[in-house]
Amino acid sequence: MLTQTLKSLFTRDLNRLKVEIESYGNESNLWKVEPDIANSAGNLCLHLIENLNTYIGATLGGKNYIRNRPLEFSTKNIPRKELITGIEETIIIVEQTLDKINQEAIEAEYPLLVFDEKTTTEFFLVHLTTHLSYHLGQINYHRRLLDK
């Protein structure tokens, strides 16, 4: 079933995110930006945590979670340990939520209008996996460029 595949991909990539954050030799470099690099790895990590907790945990899982998107990009210097805890908690929320989604729910319309047009839950969950992967790649590149 698709939900098991998605659960596997989310878990894999969130664990990779954890490894990337842990791999910074200098913790302060998580928050470093350069002239042509708009977002730090720390802010991208916060963005991914908030994104998945909102669109999977709260919207599909009924978790009491309120997103503050502007803070995802303006908050700075959160300790690495807190980022790791956030990732680990997100893994649990995503896994628990996807375990409860049946085929009927996956084929249904996603409860929120996120794009210009309505989508199925299936489409939106696949989008979220690619969104995670995209930012994970940015974080990997950020680390290799700026953690010297």
pLDDT recorded at residue 66: 86
Mean pLDDT for the chain? 96
pLDDT tens for residues 106-115?
999 999 999 9
pLDDT recorded at residue 111: 96
Q: Is the pLDDT of residue 17 over 90?
A: yes
Domain, as residue range, for 37: 2-146
Q: Is the pLDDT of residue 128 over 90?
A: yes
Q: Which of 134, 137, 110 is nearest to 122 (CA)?
A: 110
Report the CATH number at residue 11. 1.20.120.450
Q: What DSSP string runs through 68-118?
A: -HHHHHH-----HHHHHHHHHHHHHHHHHHHHH--HHHHHSBPSS--SSS-
Q: Indicate the number of domains in the chain.
A: 1
pLDDT tens for residues 42-93?
999 999 999 999 999 999 999 998 899 989 999 999 999 999 999 999 999 9
Q: What is the mean pLDDT of residues 99-123?
A: 96
Please indicate, yes or no, whether the overall pTM of this predicted structure exceeds 0.85: yes
